[in-house]
Structure 1
Amino acid sequence: MRYIVTLFWSCLIGAVVSYVLSSMGSEPFNLTATIGLSVVFFVMVSVLGDGILKEDN
């Protein structure tokens, strides 16, 4: 379940970041770049959450 929520939020944040950056650069919105950015966000958050920032009991 946490991967589904992480994927949802990474797609949402990736779309917002891609839209803002393309608007600032006067470029058209590119869905392929947005999906790529969302995948990068998802991988980074998953690696950080499961591996690097794991709590020690």
Structure 2
Amino acid sequence: MRYIMTIFWSFLIAAAVSYVLSSMGGEPFLIQNAIILTAIFSIVVFVLGDGILKEKAE
């Protein structure tokens, strides 16, 4: 479930960032850019959450 929620929130954040940046640049909003950014955000979060920042068992 955490992977689905991570992808969902990554998509929302990526869509917002993509919309703002395309508006600032005077370009049309393309959903493909948001999907690409979603994939990048999700991969970074998965790597950080499951690998680098994983809590050590005591």
Q: TM-score range by the shorter chain?
A: over 0.9
Report deviation, 1:41: 0.3
- State the AA in 1 paired with 2:40: V
After TM superposition, the runs of 4+ consecutive aligned structure 1 residues lying more than 4 A away are none
Report deviation, 1:31: 1.0
What do you get for the CA RMSD once the two structures are aligned?
0.6
Report deviation, 1:10: 0.3
Q: Percent identity?
A: 63
SS in 2 for 1:29: coil
- Correspondence for 2:12: 12
- Correspondence for 1:37: 37
Q: TM-score, normalised by structure 2?
A: 0.94
Q: TM-score, normalised by structure 1?
A: 0.95
- Correspondence for 1:2: 2
- State the AA in 2 paired with 1:32: Q
- Correspondence for 2:22: 22
Partners of 2:37 and 2:2 lie apart in 1 by 19
- Correspondence for 2:49: 49
